[in-house]
Amino acid sequence: MLASDEDRERVVERVRLAAADGRLPLSELDGRLGQVHGARTLGELAVAARGLPEPGPRDCLVVDETPASRFALGLFGGFRRSGEWVVPPRFTAWSMWGGGRIDLTEARFAAQETVVRAVALWGATGIVVPDDIDVEVRGLALFGALGRRGARKVGRPGVPRVVVKGFALFGAVVTKPGGK
């Protein structure tokens, strides 16, 4: 059976991930990519992918699932979103005289780009982001803090992108790195 462009792109991503993880020596990277791009059949693609790890559950970050929640509120208290959950394309979090934590380290995303609107009024919202997504933080802080802790790492092509639009008034909206 003939290979499609989509089939080739899936194998290219596997080759790149294997090289990035140190499972494929960089000296073999160009040769493998050449094999993939030159493959005409699924059998030839299978030969190019031989010995590479299969995509695991964390490799599939964008899923076709319905998110359970699009909103979180911490009012004189707190909220927490963590563990395995599906992040909607638009998620809003309010912390008012309280706090909140949004942990994306085990999350899956309903869209390639997600916008998190975080408002902190005399409170704080912490957003834990894994290394395998791209994050942009923008917004406004008045007598508060808005920003990113840790070095900015740009995600690989094709990984989910999270845009944090924050507003902090006597509060804080901060992203910080988390492990895989």
Q: What is the pLDDT of residue 159?
A: 79
Report DSSP state, residue 58: G
Count of other CB atoms within 10 angstroms of residue 56: 8
Q: Which of 103-107, 118-122, 165-169 has the lowest mean pLDDT?
A: 103-107
Quick one: CA torsion of 37, 41, 47, 50, rounded to 10 degrees? 80
Residue 180's pLDDT is what? 46
pLDDT in tens, 20-69: 777 888 888 899 999 999 999 999 999 998 888 776 555 568 878 888 78
* Each residue's pLDDT tens digit, 119-144: 999 999 999 998 778 889 999 999 99
